[in-house]
Amino acid sequence: MNTESAQVQQPSTPASHIIAVLTGIAMISGFLVVLTSQLTAPFIAENQRIAIEAAVTRVIPGSVSHKEFILSDDGLKPAEKGAEGQRIYAGYDASGKLLGVAAKAAAQGYGGMIYLLYGYDPACECIRGIKVLKMAETPGLGDKIIKDPDFQANFDRLDARLDPSHMALLHPIVTVKHGSKKEAWEVDAISGATISSKAVGKALNRSAQSLLPRLLPLIGELEVAGK
Amino acid sequence: MSRRTDNRITWETFSEGLWKENPVFVMLLGMCPVLAVTNSAINALAMGLATTFVLVASGALVSLLRSFIPKQVRIATYIVIIATFVTMVDYVIQAISLDLYNALGAFIQLIVVNCIILGRAEAYASKHRPLKSIVNALGMGTGFTFALLCLGVVREVLGSGSLFGISLFGDHFQPWVVMVLPAGGFIVLGAWLLLFDWLKQRQALPQEEKAHAG
């Protein structure tokens, strides 16, 4: 075998020495990584909290505070570590009145998954705003979904009423070609960024269709929680 | 190159990474982050600093341990050391700014496989004393950061009409979108390589003439 001849050529290092060195390096490495992780954990958690807070305030206009809940088959629960289900954020004004509910949605865009947060206002049964949390769309084209004012205007009172059976949306949210928006539940696409715009519409539709029928019967609980 | 016995630290130890052996413009190493994250100046700067930190820290540790590491497992050892510092940088960037972390994406973790760093560990840090390795790694890192900034500044100014996020030309400027796309990365890199090669040739010319005359 080749390895045997290679070992003859080199001054042989005992296996115990190799094992000792590798173990030593691995221990130093583990110590450094754990140390950094422990030191930075509070800052990272704080950054994430600030990011979520800013996003919730943006998609629920007028909200000054928010509470996190987990929505599962057993109903609503305050968010705790390890709780299973969909995380939602209820936004309240200064007097504790429920202004809206924010939830996450995602869909496949042009350059990867688009993750966004949207705010639902139970008073008007409509979507009041979206904020893109993470995306990899083409700079200059697809990334206009973040800032383009005309596109963002779609999500001021985007119709999300439920049908009489309360099982699905009365009108599914759809993205239409740039300039052809007529109905309140349609999203006007950005010209040149149709795939990204469609992904946003698809994400909202999918999330609203599954979330709102489960959430609306429990809105009362959220209103009480703010008091 | 200095020989193994030569332990003096000179300006050359630092500066060879800046100019003579610039990792990007001369050795053409680590092209992946060079092309991918230089679409804005701030991304380029952050990536350059992160890489410099990993270069210096791993260079120092490899150099310190160079007489303990058996030849047979040296590459594995270097990679573990490099991966450790990359993970640390990853955490620190998350702690500093989530926006920056999202913008740099997977390229922070990919510093592990940046051949500049493994190359320095193998070719320099494993043969020189810690202080000298640190100075050399610092030079290489500065050279890498400088090269990234060269690309990042040009691409951000032309592609977004801003520099470090500050708008330069006002609203009527139509950004040159191709510059922030991957194709723009290749174009700008090619232009810089052309410029640096031309400068090098101009520098070399008088010396050649002198040699001929002598």
pLDDT in tens, B54-112: 999 999 999 999 888 888 889 999 999 999 999 999 999 999 988 888 888 778 888 99
pLDDT band at B2 (very low <50, low <70, confident <90, very high): very low
CB atoms within 10 A of CB B129: 13
- What letter represents residue B49's amino acid? L
CB proximity B130 to A under 8 Å: no
| 3-state DSSP assignment of residue B139 | helix
| 3-state DSSP assignment of residue B8 | coil
CB proximity A12 to B under 8 Å: no
**Chain A residues with beta carbon closer than 8 angstroms to that of B160:** 139-140
- pLDDT tens digits along A101-129: 999 999 998 888 999 999 999 888 899 99
B164: left (phi over 0), alpha (psi -120 to 50) or beta: left
Answer yes or no: do B69 and A21 touch at CB < 8 A: yes
**Chain B residues with beta carbon closer than 8 angstroms to that of A44:** 91, 94-95
Mutation site, B66, B72, B78, interface A, largest A CB count within 10 A: B72
CB atoms within 10 A of CB A220: 10
- pLDDT tens digits along A62-94: 888 888 888 887 778 887 766 777 888 999 988
Residue B196 has pLDDT above 50, yes or no: yes
Single pTM value for the model: 0.77
Answer yes or no: do A25 and B80 touch at CB < 8 A: yes
CB proximity A48 to B under 8 Å: yes
CB atoms within 10 A of CB A36: 19
- Are A37 and B84 contacting, i.e. CB atoms less than 8 angstroms apart? no
Nearest CA among A75, A143, A32, B189 for reference residue A88: A75
Mutation site, A4, A19, A31, A32, interface B, largest B CB count within 10 A: A32
Answer yes or no: do B77 and A21 touch at CB < 8 A: yes
pLDDT value of position A197: 93
Q: Rounded mean pLDDT of chain A?
A: 86
Name residues 147-206 of chain B within 8 A of A (Cβ): 159-160, 175, 177, 180-181
Mutation site, A27, A31, A40, interface B, largest B CB count within 10 A: A40
Residue A114 tokens read as 């688009």
